[in-house]
Structure 1
Amino acid sequence: MSAQRLVKVLAPIVVLLLCLLLAYQISQSQPPASKGRPSKANPLLVEVDKIAPRDFQVTVESYGVLKANTRTNLLSLVSGQVLKVSPAFQRGAFVQEGQVLLVIDPLEYEVSLQTARSDLANAELALAEEEARSEQALRDWRTQEKINSTPARDYALRYPQLKAAKAKLETAKAKLSLAQKNLERTKVRAPYDGRLIETFVNKGSVISTSTPVAELYSSESLELSLPIASRDLAFLDLPSSESYQDTSSSAYVRIENSLVVPAEYWQAMIVGTEALVDAENQQIYALAKIVKPLTSEKSERPVQALKVGQYLHANIQGKTIDEAILVPNSAIYQGTYVYVVEKIEKQDVLARREVNVRWRNEELSLIESGLNIGDLLVRTPLGQVTSGTRVAIDKRVEGAADKHQGESP
C-alpha cells in the first residue's frame, strides 16, 4: 500500500478521534448537577404603608372666570359742560361710593335754585294773605249770622282760594327740591365701591341728560361660576335652593390667583347654584362669591388685584369623611387594583387586591372596599408582578409600616 493511500485512510479516523476527545473534555468541565432543592431567587425589596383609617376632609378642585354681578353704565342726569374731572376718572381705577368723578357747569342750576327759592317765598306769602282773607270772611259771616240765619258758602269763606294757595305752596316746595337735586347732580358720583371699566367723556365735553359717562362694576359683587362634576356632588354641602343663601352656613372656597409669584389667595363662599345643568357633561355650576375682593388672605394691598374676566383656580371645602382609607394614586394600577404584602408559610409574598375607588384627587384615592385596616400596602412601583412573589420589606424607609411580625427567610 502506498503512503498516499495510507494517509487517505487514516485521516478520517484521526479527525473522528479528535472530536471524541474534545467532547469528553467539554463534558468533564461542566459543574456537577445539584442534587438538593433549586436555589430561590432573591426577594424583591419593597416599601409598604400600614393601612390606618383617619378623618379626611374632601377638597374639590374647580375653576372659573371671574365676573361682576353688578355692572353699571353711569349716566349724567343733567346736561352741560364738564368743568372738572377727578384724577380717579380713568380706566382700571378703583372708586369709592359717593366719590365725585365729574363736575358739570352748575351755573344754570344755581340760577334755577334761586328762582325756585323765590317762587317758594311768593307762594308762602300768597298763602298767608289768603289765610288772612279767609279768616276775615269767616268773621264777617258770623256778624251777619246774628241778623239772618243764611248758611255760609265755601266760596264766601274763600276756602277754594285757600286750597289753591296751599297747592301752589306745595308745588313751589317740590320745584325747590328738584332744583336742589339738579344742582347736586352736576357732581357725578360713584354709586358704589367699584372699579372703572371705561370712561366716555373728558374735561370740556358737552353732555346731555342720560349721556353715558363711564362703565363700572361693583367690587363687592365679584363671583365665579364653578363647574362641579357629578362624582363630587355627594361630597359637597351645596345650597339646595337656586336663590342666594346666607354665607355664614355656606361651603368655604379658597381662590388662587396664579398670575403672580408667589400665588395669592382670596376667600369665597358658595352662595347658590345655577338653575340649569350642563346637558353635555351633566355638571352643575356653583356660585362662589368673593368675601373681600380688594383684600387677599395675607395682605390688605395684594400685589395684583383681581380682574373681571380672569381665569381662577378654586378649592372647595367638602365634607369630612370619618375613618377614611386613603391610598396614593401611584400605588393603584390601572385604577382597579393594588399590591399588598401577606405572610404565607412564614414568608412575605405579594398579593393582588381589587379595590373600589369612591373618590380621588390628583394625589390620593378614597377606597370604598378592597382593603382592610392593618393591610400592608406596597408603595414601590412594581408593574406587572405575579401574586405569590417573595418580597422583603424595606424597614429603613421613614414612614414605612410598623415592623412586620416575623422575619422573611
Structure 2
Amino acid sequence: MTRNRTIALILAVILPIAFIVLGIGSIAVMGALKPKPEERNEAPKALAVFVAEAVREDVQLSITAQGEVAPRNQANLAPQVSGRVNYVADNLVNGGFVKKGQLLMRLEDADYKLSVVRAESTVASARQALVQTEAEADLALRELQDLGIDDASPLALKVPQLEEARASLAAAQAQLQDAQLQLKRTGIYAPFDGMVLNETVDIGQFVGAGAVIAEVFATDVMEVELQISDQQMGELGLPIAFNATANNPGPEVRLRANVGGRQREWIGEITRTGAAIDSRSRLISVYAEVEDPFGEGADEGAPLAPGLFVDASIIGRTVEDVIIIPRQALRGINTVYVVETVDAEEWRAERDARSAKLNGASGSTDAAAEDKKDDKAKPDSENASKTVADLETGPVDVLRIREVEVLKSEADRALLLSGIEPGERVVLSAVQAAFDGMRLRVLTRNADGTVDAVTDAEAETASVSSTEGTN
C-alpha cells in the first residue's frame, strides 16, 4: 500500500516535468528545422513624381488691383446769397440727370430786384452830375480864355470837381453791377452734365449763403484710384508722375464687378500716376478713367456708378522669350527641381562620388569604422541596391536643383528669365529632403484620370532579368 502511494506520488511529480521538457524540446527541434527566409536585396524604389514641360513664349504682363469708383468732377451746390426758396427743378432729386446751365433752384428775388433799381437810379444821378460838372468846366475854360488867362489853376478849371463826378459815377456803376450779380445769384445752375447724388432743399425753405443744398457729379468720366507697388509699375512700364497724352497713351485697364447678379466689365485707360510714393504703404497711386460710363462706356446698359468696388486688370508691357512653368514647380523664391535623364553608369559614378565625399567629411582614420558610419549615413536607396542598381543599365531619371531668375510669380504660373531651357521637365510633386542626383520615376496622368507608372512587379521583373543576364 505504501509502495503504491510512493509510485503514484513519483508519477504525479515526474510526468508533468517530463511532458514540459518534451514540449520544449519539440519546439526547439521544429525551430531548428524551419527553413530560413530568403534574403532579397531589392532595387531602390525611385520617388514617383508628376512633371510638366517648360515652354518659351512672348508674354504680355498684366497686374491686378482693386479700387473704388469715383467721379472725376463732383460739386456741392450752395447759394451765394440767402433767401427763401420759391422754385426747385423736378430733376433735382437723388439720381436725377441734369444738363449744364439748367436752373435747379431759385430764391425769392424781389429784394434783389429793388436793389438793382436803386443802383440804376444812383448811376443815373451820378451820370447827370458828371454831365453838369463837365458843362461847368467848359464854361469856366471859355471865360478864362476870354480874360486872356493862360495859367489858370486846376481849381479854376473845375478839375477836382470833374474827377469827383467821374469817381461817383464809377462807384454807382459798381453798385449796380453788384446788385445785378446778387440778383443773378438767386438762381442755382448745373455746372456740368451730370447726376444728382443727394439734395436737401424744398420750396418754402429758407437757406443761408454757403449752405449746401445739393451734391452733383459729372457723368462724362469716372475715375478709379488703384494702388500698386514699384515692381508693378515696372511691369506696366510707367514712371512716377506719368500723364497720358495723344502720343503717349496709358495702358488699357479692365474693371470688373458684380452688378445686378452679373459679372460686368468696363474698359478704360490709365491716364496718370501719383506724384509721390505713399510714405506709410510704400505704394503708388495710378488713376484709371472710363469715358461716358453712363452711355457708350456702360456694359449692356450697366453704368460704372460711383461707390462701386471693382477689380482692375491692367495690361502691361510685352516681354520676349519668357520661360513659363506651373506655379507649383517654383520652390521658395527662386528654386526649381528639374528632371534630367542620365545614363545609369553616370548616375552610379555620381552616387559613388557623393559617398566618397561623405566618407572624407567624417574624418575617421579607421577604415572599417568609416565604412560602417558611411553605410549608416547613406540614403537607404543607395545602401539597398548593391546587387541591382549596380547592374542596372540604360537611362535613369534624376533630380537636379536649379536656381532661376524669376520675372513674375502669378497664381497659376511662374515667369522665368533664365535658369531653365524650354522643353525641360520640372517637378510638380512635393519632394522631401531633396538632393541633387536623387532617383525619380516620372508619372503620367491620362485624360481619364488614370496614371501611367512603372509598378513594383515590373520593377522586380526588370531587376531579376538584369541579374540573370549577368550570370
TM-score, scaled to structure 1: 0.73
Partner of 2:199: 199
What letter is aligned with 1:384? V
1:383 aligns with 2:430: yes
Partner of 2:412: 363
Q: Determine if contact 1:348/1:392 at 8 Å carries over to the other structure.
A: no
Task: Describe how 1:253-332 pairs up with structure 2 within 5 A.
Answer: 254-260=253-259, 261-273=262-274, 275-279=276-280, 283-292=282-291, 294-295=293-294, 299=298, 302-308=301-307, 310-332=308-330
1:87 equivalent among 80, 86, 90: 90
The SS at the match of 2:258 is: coil
1:115 aligns with 2:118: yes
Following the alignment from structure 2 to structure 1, what is the Cα–Cα distance between the partners of residues 400 and 98?
A: 64
Q: Determine if contact 1:239/1:245 at 8 Å carries over to the other structure.
A: no
Q: Determine if contact 2:253/2:288 at 8 Å carries over to the other structure.
A: no
Unaligned runs of 5+ in 1: 1-7, 398-408
Following the alignment from structure 1 to structure 2, what is the Cα–Cα distance between the partners of residues 175 and 214?
A: 30
Partner of 2:232: 232
Deviation at 1:370, TM superposition (A): 2.6
1:351 aligns with 2:349: no
What letter is aligned with 1:349? D
* Distance 1:188-1:301 versus aligned 2 partners, 3 A rule: farther
Following the alignment from structure 1 to structure 2, what is the Cα–Cα distance between the partners of residues 374 and 207?
A: 76
Q: Which moved more, 1:349-358 or 1:98-107?
A: 349-358
Paired residue total: 381
* Distance 1:300-1:227 versus aligned 2 partners, 3 A rule: closer
Following the alignment from structure 1 to structure 2, what is the Cα–Cα distance between the partners of residues 209 and 229?
A: 45
Following the alignment from structure 2 to structure 1, what is the Cα–Cα distance between the partners of residues 52 and 303?
A: 45
- Coordinate RMSD, CA, aligned: 4.5
Partner of 1:373: 422
What letter is aligned with 2:83? G
Unaligned runs of 5+ in 2: 1-17, 344-393, 449-461, 463-471
The higher radius of gyration belongs to 2
The SS at the match of 1:173 is: helix
Following the alignment from structure 1 to structure 2, what is the Cα–Cα distance between the partners of residues 333 and 268?
A: 36
The SS at the match of 1:130 is: helix
Q: Determine if contact 1:255/1:266 at 8 Å carries over to the other structure.
A: yes
* Distance 1:339-1:297 versus aligned 2 partners, 3 A rule: farther
Following the alignment from structure 1 to structure 2, what is the Cα–Cα distance between the partners of residues 49 and 395?
A: 16
Partner deviation per Cα, 1:166-213 (whole Å, 9 max, x = no partner): 222222322232232222212101234444343222111122333322
Task: Describe how 1:112-191 pairs up with structure 2 within 5 A.
Answer: 112-145=115-148, 149=149, 151-191=151-191
Partner deviation per Cα, 1:244-282 (whole Å, 9 max, x = no partner): 734554642525241311222241425222535344xx5
Deviation at 1:323, TM superposition (A): 1.7
Q: Determine if contact 1:81/1:206 at 8 Å carries over to the other structure.
A: yes
The SS at the match of 2:328 is: helix
Following the alignment from structure 1 to structure 2, what is the Cα–Cα distance between the partners of residues 110 and 74?
A: 23
Judging by fraction of residues, say which structure has more helix: 2
Following the alignment from structure 2 to structure 1, what is the Cα–Cα distance between the partners of residues 171 and 62?
A: 64
The SS at the match of 1:389 is: strand
Following the alignment from structure 2 to structure 1, what is the Cα–Cα distance between the partners of residues 212 and 296?
A: 36
Deviation at 1:289, TM superposition (A): 4.2
Following the alignment from structure 2 to structure 1, what is the Cα–Cα distance between the partners of residues 146 and 172?
A: 36
The SS at the match of 2:414 is: strand
Following the alignment from structure 2 to structure 1, what is the Cα–Cα distance between the partners of residues 114 and 130?
A: 24
What letter is aligned with 1:388? R
